Amino acid sequence: MTQNEETRSPLPLWRFAVPLLLQIGLILVSPAQSVYTHATGKTVILQTIPVDPYDPLRGYSQTLSYDISRLETLKKLPGWQEISKQQKSKNVDYLESGTELYVVLESPPDGAKQPPLAWKPVKVSSSSPTSLPANQIALKGRGAANMIRYGLETYYFPESQQQEINQAIMQAQRGQKQSLVVEIKVNEGGYGVPVSLWVRDRNYRF
Amino acid sequence: MTTDKFRSQLRQEVEVWRTEGIINDSQHEQLAQRYQFNTLDTSSRNLFVTVLIGLGCILIGLGIITFVASNWQELSKSFKVLLLLSLFVIVNTTGFYIWRKSNESSQRLGNGLLILGALTLGANMALMGQIYHVNNPFYELMLAWGIGVLAMAYSLRLTSLSMLAILLIWIGQWGFAINNLFDNSWLYQKLSWSSLLGEHMPILACIMFIPLAYLCKSRWIFAFSAIAIVSALMGNLYFYSYGIGRLFNLSTLQISGWAIALFFALPPILLWSYDDFRENRAISKSFKAISQNLALIYLAGIFYSFSFYSLWANLSRESSQTDLLKVNLFSLISLLVLILIGVWKWVRLGQKMTRHRPLRSQDLTTIVVGLMIGITALIPLWHTYIAPIPELATFAFNALLFLLSIGLMREGLTHGQRRAFWFGLLLLICRILNWFFLANTGLLIKSLVFVLCGVGVIAIGLWFEKYVRTFGNPTN
């Protein structure tokens, strides 16, 4: 038998209840930061890089990459020189894995438009920027191979809507560039969570 | 322990014996008493009922899952969370109450439900991440899940849950190690709970798993824990050796020398010298045996895999330099503690040896194993520090392999231990065959070697089996 002799007499309830409560705690703590950011964060719109029309959404989630995930985008911004100077490699086209950086995003002048316009990256810095104006916010990212990750790269959606969203994205991408944007929320620490997908004027929120 | 199948067959046989007059009624009665024929029907009925209940539970569960899935998207986030949590609590609580009952079949059912509950914990954590779009690495989920299950295993002292917990944490640890290896991010690792856990896993695993083996009095848990600890050590060795490299300002080649020396020596040092805690001497004598067996298997694996020339020849080139200044020295504490434990244990072994004069045979074995470990640690260091010695290293590892296999066979012969004997023989044959496979010899010679090996194995094996039988100790 898989248990020992001592436990033959009924175990007191707390022996079961204490680890169960710990397990419930573990379940609840993992999404805590996301829930908090969802509730208190500031809404920001990010421009995605167009997804491959022949290989769109698969399975239950979409791997998104953004304009600001690309080194080419960030390299043009003020503050990039500072970050690349701190690296061992003198190559400006390369960001060492794990390097932390903050991207400051500025809201477009016409912020209330529907569908919303993407925020513009205005500068990068290696430390959390202080005293930003009200129309700007800092998003924290980390270098990963030849791109930057923000923890916003996976968006889960129901499989049943896969076909529909795929169609919408394919149609939208034939048109203008600004067709696929992602609405996120960002907290004071620069931590972001994805909230919804905008494909042209349609909003998908799961 | 006799199986139900054997008992029911025996009951039929006994009936025949009685009708044929081989045994009389009282003998029949004695046999019926001894093998409890009267409980046969109820026990098979109980098993049947358990299977039915299990099947029913699975079907009900599937029904609920499909029902929920059909409406899943329409449910609000908080309702989903509530639903998941209540499923989790219900499965676990039912499991616990059924398991707590004293009869065996309900304990089995309860145990099954508790395992299901532990799996539900993982499903819950994964789904929670999905609902709230959390982007955490996979290994964090495994580590957190494993710790949750470990807490339950400790509290209920259940072997099944313990094994599951060790397996989950083991997967998490390897996920962490592989993840770090591929994008080199261990150099820039931000301090987080999972990085702390991952970097110090060898020592944390000792603290988390070994007491569990004592609490559950389970040899399986001990073996699993020992494997998990050693593999955690192996997974983390490359950044430990980079830490050593930073401390002593070494070149990459020297660092790999250290990594390999530690990889060779530290696991068998710890495994061989493991001794039981005094209070549990009665059951844990077997833990020591498991640990020593694992040490021998580990050594055999090392000798075998490094007995090839090409491995050593490739190990004499410098690779690209890594920025050592970024290496985190904090993780070295774990390594240092393990080394200290190993040294202390071997000093104790030495002290014990000096007390027994003349030397006992197991002390002699310990000395031989110690020498073997010493040589395996010295060779890679010599190879990378002083001068490359690929030929000598290959020769030494082959010699060690042969020594070990001969030693195992000898041990098997003197104590009539089948497993040791066959393991040694297998090791020897494998190495010889490998030699001829890789060597540039003609097919005819290869065929001759195959035939000779085959004849040799059959002859030695038959002789040994006969010897063991006459030795009068055919067990083990």
Q: Which amino acid is at B52?
A: L
- The pLDDT of residue B464 is above 80: no
pLDDT band at residue A5 using 50, 70 and 90 as cut-offs: very low
DSSP state letters, B150-164? HHHHHHHT-HHHHHH
CA dihedral A170, A172, A178, A182 (to 10 degrees): -70
Helices B219-248 and B281-305, axial angle in degrees (round to 10)? 50
- The pLDDT of residue B168 is above 80: yes
pLDDT band at residue B69 using 50, 70 and 90 as cut-offs: low
The per-residue pLDDT for B271 is 93
pLDDT band at residue B129 using 50, 70 and 90 as cut-offs: confident
The per-residue pLDDT for A3 is 44
Q: Three-state DSSP class for B18?
A: helix
Cβ pair A10:B100 closer than 8 A: yes
Task: Provide ipTM, 2 decimals.
Answer: 0.79
pLDDT digits (tens, 9 = 90+) for B226-259: 999 999 998 888 778 888 888 888 888 888 888 8
pLDDT digits (tens, 9 = 90+) for A91-116: 666 677 777 889 999 888 876 677 78
Residue B94, chain A, CB below 8 Å: the answer is no
Dist CA B166 CA B227 (whole Å): 10
Cβ pair A20:B152 closer than 8 A: yes
Cβ pair B183:A35 closer than 8 A: no
Residue B85, chain A, CB below 8 Å: the answer is yes
Helices B159-183 and B104-131, axial angle in degrees (round to 10)? 30
The per-residue pLDDT for B268 is 94
pLDDT digits (tens, 9 = 90+) for B276-333: 776 555 555 578 888 988 999 999 999 988 888 888 887 766 666 666 777 778 888 8
- The mean of the pLDDT values for chain B is 83
| Backbone φ/ψ region at B127: left (φ over 0), alpha (ψ -120 to 50), beta | alpha
A55-61: list long-range contacts, CB under 8 Å, 24+ apart. Answer: A56/A165, A56/A166, A56/A169, A56/A170, A57/A157, A57/A162, A57/A165, A57/A166, A57/A169, A58/A162, A59/A159, A60/A156, A60/A157, A60/A158, A60/A159, A60/B130, A61/A154, A61/A155, A61/A156, A61/A157, A61/B130
Of B476, B473, B461, residue with least CA distance to B422: B461
Cα B351 to Cα A6, B341, B415, distances in angstroms:
37, 15, 26
pLDDT band at residue B475 using 50, 70 and 90 as cut-offs: very low
Q: pTM of the predicted model, to two decimals?
A: 0.80
Instruction: Look up tokens 């010295």; give the residue.
Output: B378
Residues 6+ away with beta carbon under 8 Å from B382:
B389
The per-residue pLDDT for A55 is 47
pLDDT digits (tens, 9 = 90+) for B31-62: 888 888 877 777 677 777 777 877 887 788 77
pLDDT digits (tens, 9 = 90+) for B334-371: 899 999 999 999 998 888 888 877 777 778 888 889 99
Please state, as a whole number, how many other Cβ atoms lie within 10 Å of the Cβ of residue B458: 10
For B129, name the nearest residue in chain A, comparing CA atoms only.
A31
Cβ pair B130:A60 closer than 8 A: yes
pLDDT digits (tens, 9 = 90+) for A17-54: 999 999 999 999 988 888 888 888 888 888 887 665 45
**Which chain A residues have a beta carbon less than 8 Å from that of B92?**
16, 20, 23
Dist CA A5 CA B10 (whole Å): 30
Q: What are phi and psi of B19, to 5 degrees?
A: -65, -30
Number of H helices, E strands in chain B: 18, 0
Of B119, B179, B171, B110, residue with least CA distance to B148: B119
pLDDT band at residue B415 using 50, 70 and 90 as cut-offs: confident
- Please give the average per-residue pLDDT across B386-409, as a whole number: 86
**Which chain B residues have a beta carbon less than 8 Å from that of A18?**
151, 155
Instruction: Work out the percent of chain A whose per-residue pLDDT is above 90.
Output: 9
